[in-house]
Amino acid sequence: MDNTGKDNGIIDLQIQLAKLSSSLGTLLQVNEQQHLMITQRLDNILEQTKKTNGRVTKLEEWKSNLNDELLEYKFIKRYPKLSILVVSITAIITILNLYILISKL
C-alpha cells in the first residue's frame, strides 16, 4: 500500500474531527445561552420569592397585632358570663361612687 491511502484516511479523519469540533463549539454556545436563560429565570424566581416572603412577613406581623388588639374581644366571647359580671361590678362601683359623691354635696 502506498502512503496516499493513509494520507486520504488521515485527511478524512481530520475533516471529521474539524466537523465534530465545529459541532461541539455550536453545542457549547447553545448550552451557554440556555444556561444564561435558566440563570435569568432563577434570578426572577428568587426576586419574586423575596417579594412574596416580604408580603407574608408583613401579613404575619399584621395578624399578630390584630390578635393582640382582639384579645379582650376573645376573652368576652370565651367567657360571656364572667364578662357580664365584670361589667356589672364596674357599673355598681361607678353608681356607688356617684352616690357617695352626690351625698357629700
pLDDT in tens, 26-73: 888 999 999 999 999 999 999 999 999 999 999 899 888 888 888 888
User: Which position has the higher pLDDT, 17 or 51?
Assistant: 51
- Is residue 25 pLDDT above 60, yes or no? yes
Identify the band that residue 5 occupies on the pLDDT scale cut at 50, 70 and 90: low
For residues 3-30, average pLDDT = 82
Global pTM? 0.47
Closest CA to 83 of 73, 93, 97: 73
